Amino acid sequence: MRGWLALVLGLFAGAALADGAVHEFQLDNGLKLVVKEDHRAPVMVSQVWYKVGSSYEHDGITGISHVLEHMMFKGTAAHPAGEFSQIISENGGRENAFTSQDYTAYFQTMEKNRLPVSFELEADRMRNLTLPEKEFRKEVQVVMEERRMRTEDDPQSLTYEQFNAAAFVNSPYRTPVIGWMDDLENLRVDDLRRWYRKWYAPNNATLVVVGDVDPDAVYAQARKYFGALRPSEPEAVKPRHEIEQLGRKDIRVKAPAKLPYLIMGYKVPVLKTVKAADSWEPYALEVLAGVLDQGSGARLSSELVRGSAVAASAGASYDAWERLESLFVLSGTPSTNHGVAELEKALLEQVRKLQQTPVGKDELERVKAQIRADKVYEQDSIFYQAMQIGILETVGLGWRESQRYLERIEAVTAEQVQAVARKYLIEDHLTVAQLVPQPIEPGKEKTPHRAGVGGHVR
Amino acid sequence: MKKKGSRLLLALLVTAWTGLVRALPDIQSWTTEKGARVLFVEAHELPMLDVRLVFDAGSARDGAQSGVAGLTNGLMDQGAAGLDADTIARGFEQYGSKLGNGSERDMAWLSLRSLTDERLLGPSLELFAKVLVEPDFPQDDFRREQKRALTGLEYQKQKPDSIAERAFYRKLYGDHPYAGDPSGTIETVKALTADDLRDFYRRYYVARNATVVLVGDISRRQAEAIAAQLADALPEGKAPPELPKVRELKQAEQVFIEHPSTQSHVLTGQPGVRRGDPDYFQLYVGNHILGGSGLVSRISQEIREKRGLSYSAYSYFIPMKRKGPYQLGFQTRNDQRDEALSVLRKTLKDYIDKGPSEKELASSKNNIVAGFPLRVSSNARIAEYLAVIGFYNLPLDYLKTFTSRVEAVTTEQIRDAYRRRVHPGRMVTVIVGGKTEGEPHS
């Protein structure tokens, strides 16, 4: 196996050479610019990342970061509501935005020469949003529809939301990114204005450009469009460390559904929250997640979906690049003739095995081989490359972490995987949620009227 | 992560046939000895290769055994050439390569992504060939996957969007092969046997029914060898007969399916266009203006931007071998669905009556033409597009002439095409949601 490892490491070195150079710039007003060259196609992606998301929110205004993201398309004095999307569209661009717990980001993917179009519009809405009351009233309705679609009417999402709220006590990761419906209903445009003034400023943002561009030219354009923006008064963000969990928590969520569903989460650190000496731990947790769920050959598929066939599906997830202490999550749907209790038992057995026996050499190698190859594959997407840089900058780890990632993963040993399993996957830090299906009336079809349906519309 | 708008997704759906730019990479094409058509694009920037084999073996070939195409495709990597599922999965994983598979109504496919170092690519391709050519369909694995498929069907029943889509296709296509869902029905999936899958595999996974797509860091000679290694290991066989034509709807029909959801999912539409349809460009560009260009489209403007009624409101053509759906839809709080539906219908009717303005057409052309390079900016996308071009027999210069055909479309042509082809008085409408009494909570 050793010879093979050397071979693949050698391959990676070749691929790393193909990986484009990253250039970092800083504007006087605090805006950071990171540019990565990728000259494969005459296109570029431009992203603006703000250090704000649902984990910056407090009770009563949950979801405000996401609503503000929607309102960022609702106009400035220079470009009234709707114009942003119209201009990007006419330039052949694709644009969108996303909000998470840790960040809010906006992007345009365009032909490479249209970078100034994107910069002009993004710079304008960084400081000059008008936030009209009338637009807000409509848009918050759209967000409530989004919430209904994503959460209220999806029993697994609903369970996940309740699970999260039960797992965390004082960490802001407790609340959903989209916000509680009650908070959305009571949100006011003035709340948004305050939120916008506080967080939307060059010294709280990172500009990321990846594509067929010249870094110095991008820097010149960035200074031209963003250079004059005033910074805001920085305000220290409270740490809001989650208190220690003192025993297993169990919740049940009853909702109309056909299938039961199980989610189990252990409190775990992330790279940002561990001491320097323990910085291998999050990477060991990533490898541990891989041993369970990296590919169809990994343990959950092999032993739970095939093997004992107790699960119709099962997964494990962990993200080392979050801002605050997080969760290592196991989830799944029991197969027919098996209940949630059996699935839970099987998942706990998997955890026990990881604690008791070091992962086999071949198994560890397989996980690493896939992560190595993924580093090459991810270069096929300029969007994904930009996204990695943006996340790392925004959670405060710095984009260089992405270049260290593989090396850190390679260094993880079987003993380390066992050690983090023992240290962190402990029952007192576990939260378990199960979806208890409530009857859905069998989908009755009715044909209320047959008429020229479209013919009498006015 | 919460995404705003589903416009990315919609843009992809609408433009799945798309165009090539990337300084327009040349598509090389040939036929293997046993008759499989090959499409190849050399891309040397990254040390990787994408391979995809596409078969006319989607659910349109299910016959009375709804779901057989999907299960056949899904079982292929669960046992092949005497290797079990674990050995196959771990075989790819140890080389860092990725096996993919899938099936829809028209197509079924297997794909492989691998690094191109010969020490990794060689063994990955060998294993891929086993899955493709020698699947065993072991009885135990079949039983398990059958059960999982049934669980999947139960899952769909708790999702109002899935319920709506199944009903929409059923009403749109009646007894046409497109009516059935690729995942089948509980009754038909229960009745399947491993032998049914073997029979389906033998009939459809043959060289003359295959399109081979290769994109990546290999030479033409390597590409020829790989295409032959894979496709020519299959029996020659023959392509299946053409699918029957789709019958036009005779009258409007509205179906309501009660579901305990806070929103209603509404789909309305009719059979639309097929690949290679003479009205295709007029309808594609026309729909881009009406409901295919995300938030700036008329439908999204009327339903979402002006009235805040829905998170996503859209229309799109799904071109297929035969006429795929023309689908318009949205989701909204139950008590608003009638209002939103009449806005949608009025928007469609106005568009058919008056057609687009010159300004709207110019904007849409700008979007499509200027955005052209984005559609082929990654190997993954190029591979998907080659699959479509090969599978649907689109001419190889289709992409090179694409922008000029878009540019040539006039407002008058759009109006004419919409009047002839889109019939709001004869559309199927499916509503899945809660009763409106006692609603809403807000």
Place of tokens 């299906």: A437
Contact call for A149 and B311, based on CB within 8 A: yes
Q: Would you say residue A443 has pLDDT above 70?
A: no
- With beta carbons under 8 A apart, name residues in chain A contacting B295: 73, 85
Residue B131 confidence (pLDDT):
98
What Cα–Cα distance (Å) separates residue B282 from each residue in A77, A102, B321, B398?
Answer: 37, 44, 18, 16
Cα angle: A440, vertex A445, A451; to 5 degrees: 145
Residue A234 confidence (pLDDT):
78
Give CA–CA dist B48/B117, Å, rounded. Answer: 8
Judgement on whether residues B267 and B198 belong to the same structural domain of the protein? no
How many Å is the maximal CA-CA distance in chain B? Answer: 69
8 A C-beta contact, residue A335 and residue A311: yes
Place of tokens 């599922």: B85
DSSP assignment of B154-194 equals HHHTT-HHHHHHHHHHHHHHTTSGGGS-TT--HHHHHH--H
Structure tokens at A448: 């209320």
A7 in contact with chain B, both atoms CB, cutoff 8 A:
yes
Judgement on whether residues B216 and B315 belong to the same structural domain of the protein? no
Residue A346 confidence (pLDDT):
98
Q: Would you say residue A12 has pLDDT above 80?
A: no
Q: Would you say residue A11 has pLDDT above 60?
A: no
- With beta carbons under 8 A apart, name residues in chain B contacting A447: 253-256
CATH number at residue B404: 3.30.830.10
pLDDT-derived band at A33, boundaries 50, 70, 90: very high
pLDDT-derived band at B17, boundaries 50, 70, 90: very low
Average pLDDT over residues A346-355: 98
8 A C-beta contact, residue A326 and residue A171: no
Of B47, B374, B442, the CB nearest to A18: B47
**Residues A394-414: pLDDT tens digits?**
999 999 999 899 999 999 999
A118 in contact with chain B, both atoms CB, cutoff 8 A:
no
Neighbour-count burial of B297, counting CB atoms closer than 10 A to its CB (0-12 exposed, 13-18 middle, 19+ buried) = buried
Q: How far is CA B36 from the centre of its chain?
A: 22
A141 vs A457, which has greater pLDDT?
Answer: A141
φ, ψ at B47 (rounded to 5°): -80, 60
Neighbour-count burial of B177, counting CB atoms closer than 10 A to its CB (0-12 exposed, 13-18 middle, 19+ buried) = buried
How many beta-carbon pairs under 8 angstroms link A with B?
301
pLDDT-derived band at A7, boundaries 50, 70, 90: very low
Of A257, A336, A372, the CB nearest to B96: A372
Number of separate domains in chain B: 2
For A85, half-sphere exposure in the C-beta direction (CA atoms, 13 angstrom radius) is 22
Residue B400 confidence (pLDDT):
84
B326 in any annotated domain: yes
Residue B437 confidence (pLDDT):
57
Residue B398 confidence (pLDDT):
83
End position of a domain, from candidates B231, B261, B276 = B231
Which chain B residue has its CA at the smallest distance from A68's CA? B4
Residue A9 confidence (pLDDT):
35
Cβ density class A253-276: b for 16+ within 10 Å, e for less:
bebbbbbbbbbbbbbbbbbbbbee
- Sheet containing A261-268, strands listed edge to edge, beginning at the edge strand earlier in sequence: A249-256, A430-438, A261-268, A326-334, A311-317
Contact call for A40 and B120, based on CB within 8 A: no
**Residues B118-155: pLDDT tens digits?**
999 999 999 999 999 999 999 999 999 999 999 999 99
What Cα–Cα distance (Å) separates residue A428 from each residue in A236, A247, A288, A424?
Answer: 32, 4, 20, 10
Q: Would you say residue A211 has pLDDT above 70?
A: yes
A444 vs A322, which has greater pLDDT?
Answer: A322
Residue A448 confidence (pLDDT):
46
Give CA–CA dist B219/B216, Å, rounded. Answer: 9
Q: Would you say residue B208 has pLDDT above 50?
A: yes
Cβ density class B105-127: b for 16+ within 10 Å, e for less:
bbbbbbbbbbbbbeebbebbbeb
Place of tokens 């970078």: A115
Instruction: Pick the residue of B1, B3, B4 with the most A CBs within 10 A to test the interface with A by mutation.
Output: B4
Task: Report the percentage of chain B scoring pLDDT > 90.
Answer: 89
Q: Would you say residue B418 has pLDDT above 70?
A: yes
Strands B325-333, B263-271: pairing is antiparallel
8 A C-beta contact, residue B49 and residue B216: yes
8 A C-beta contact, residue A96 and residue B5: yes
Which chain B residue has its CA at the smallest distance from A84's CA? B296
Spell out where B200-285 has E strands: 210-216, 253-258, 263-271
**Residues B337-394: pLDDT tens digits?**
999 999 999 999 999 999 999 999 999 999 999 998 888 889 999 999 999 999 999 9
pLDDT-derived band at B435, boundaries 50, 70, 90: confident
Of A7, A258, A373, the CB nearest to B119: A7
Judgement on whether residues B205 and B140 belong to the same structural domain of the protein? yes
Judgement on whether residues B204 and B288 belong to the same structural domain of the protein? no
B141 in contact with chain A, both atoms CB, cutoff 8 A:
yes
- With beta carbons under 8 A apart, name residues in chain B contacting A49: none
- With beta carbons under 8 A apart, name residues in chain A contacting B45: 18, 40
Q: Would you say residue A18 has pLDDT above 80?
A: no
Judgement on whether residues B265 and B197 belong to the same structural domain of the protein? no
Cα angle: B393, vertex B406, B317; to 5 degrees: 60
B23 in contact with chain A, both atoms CB, cutoff 8 A:
yes
Contact call for B154 and A454, based on CB within 8 A: no
Q: Would you say residue A455 has pLDDT above 80?
A: no
Helix, strand, coil percent content, chain B, rounded in steps of 5: 50, 20, 35
Rounded to the nearest angstrom, the minimum Cα separation between A28 and chain B is 31
Asked if omega into B182 is within 30° of 0 (cis), the reply is: no
Residue B25 confidence (pLDDT):
75
What Cα–Cα distance (Å) separates residue B230 from each residue in A53, B134, B160, B346?
Answer: 49, 11, 41, 52
B3 in any annotated domain: no
Cβ density class B310-321: b for 16+ within 10 Å, e for less:
bbbbbbbbbbbb
Average pLDDT over residues A345-364: 98
Which chain A residue has its CA at the smallest distance from B117's CA? A11
Instruction: Pick the residue of A453, A456, A458 with the most B CBs within 10 A to test the interface with B by mutation.
Output: A453
- Candidates B302, B306, B310; CA nearest to B336 is B310
**Could you report the predicted ipTM of this complex, rounded to two decimals?**
0.91
- The continuous run of DSSP H or E covering A329 comes out as strand A326-334
Structure tokens at A458: 């006015």
B12 in any annotated domain: no
Residue A235 confidence (pLDDT):
82
Judgement on whether residues B261 and B175 belong to the same structural domain of the protein? no
- With beta carbons under 8 A apart, name residues in chain A contacting B252: 450-455
Average pLDDT over residues B156-172: 97
Judgement on whether residues B208 and B286 belong to the same structural domain of the protein? no
B81 in any annotated domain: yes
Residue A4 confidence (pLDDT):
34
Rounded to the nearest angstrom, the minimum Cα separation between B31 and chain A is 28
End position of a domain, from candidates B196, B231, B266 = B231
Average pLDDT over residues B308-322: 97
B442 in any annotated domain: no
End position of a domain, from candidates B200, B231, B262 = B231
- Candidates A155, A418, A425, A98; CA nearest to A287 is A418
Q: Would you say residue A265 has pLDDT above 50?
A: yes
Residue type at position B241:
P
Residue A16 confidence (pLDDT):
39
A2 in contact with chain B, both atoms CB, cutoff 8 A:
no
Give CA–CA dist A312/B159, Å, rounded. Answer: 18
8 A C-beta contact, residue A415 and residue A358: yes
Residue A180 confidence (pLDDT):
98
Residue B359 is part of which domain span? 253-433
Sign of CA dihedral A137, A138, A139, A144: positive
Judgement on whether residues B154 and B258 belong to the same structural domain of the protein? no
Task: Report the percentage of chain B scoring pLDDT > 70.
Answer: 93
pLDDT-derived band at A451, boundaries 50, 70, 90: very low
Which range among A74-83, A380-389, A443-452, B203-212 shows the weakest confidence by mean pLDDT?
A443-452
Judgement on whether residues B280 and B209 belong to the same structural domain of the protein? no
Q: Taking a contact as any Cβ pair under 8 Å apart, which residues of chain B between 44 and 63 contact chain A?
A: 45-48
φ, ψ at A374 (rounded to 5°): -60, -30
Cα angle: A276, vertex A279, A285; to 5 degrees: 160
**Residues A86-132: pLDDT tens digits?**
999 999 999 999 999 999 999 999 999 999 999 999 999 999 999 99
Average pLDDT over residues A422-427: 98
Q: Would you say residue A189 has pLDDT above 70?
A: yes
Q: Would you say residue B5 has pLDDT above 80?
A: no
A445 in contact with chain B, both atoms CB, cutoff 8 A:
yes
Judgement on whether residues B190 and B270 belong to the same structural domain of the protein? no
B4 in contact with chain A, both atoms CB, cutoff 8 A:
yes
Known catalytic residues of A are 69
Contact call for B45 and A18, based on CB within 8 A: yes
B317 in any annotated domain: yes
B159 in contact with chain A, both atoms CB, cutoff 8 A:
yes
**Residues B67-90: pLDDT tens digits?**
999 999 999 999 999 999 999 999
Strands A311-317, A326-334: pairing is antiparallel
pLDDT-derived band at B8, boundaries 50, 70, 90: very low
Q: Would you say residue B93 has pLDDT above 90?
A: yes
Within 8 A by CB and 6+ apart from B235, the residues are B34, B202, B206, B207
B6 in any annotated domain: no
Judgement on whether residues B394 and B309 belong to the same structural domain of the protein? yes
Q: Would you say residue A454 has pLDDT above 50?
A: no
Within 8 A by CB and 6+ apart from A3, the residues are none
Q: What is the SS3 assignment for A289?
A: helix
pLDDT-derived band at A6, boundaries 50, 70, 90: very low
Residue B98 confidence (pLDDT):
97
B245 in any annotated domain: no
Within 8 A by CB and 6+ apart from B386, the residues are B27, B39, B41, B52, B213, B215
Q: Would you say residue A452 has pLDDT above 90?
A: no
A423 vs B435, which has greater pLDDT?
Answer: A423
Judgement on whether residues B301 and B425 belong to the same structural domain of the protein? yes
Please tell me the pTM assigned to this model: 0.92
Rounded to the nearest angstrom, the minimum Cα separation between A248 and chain B is 27
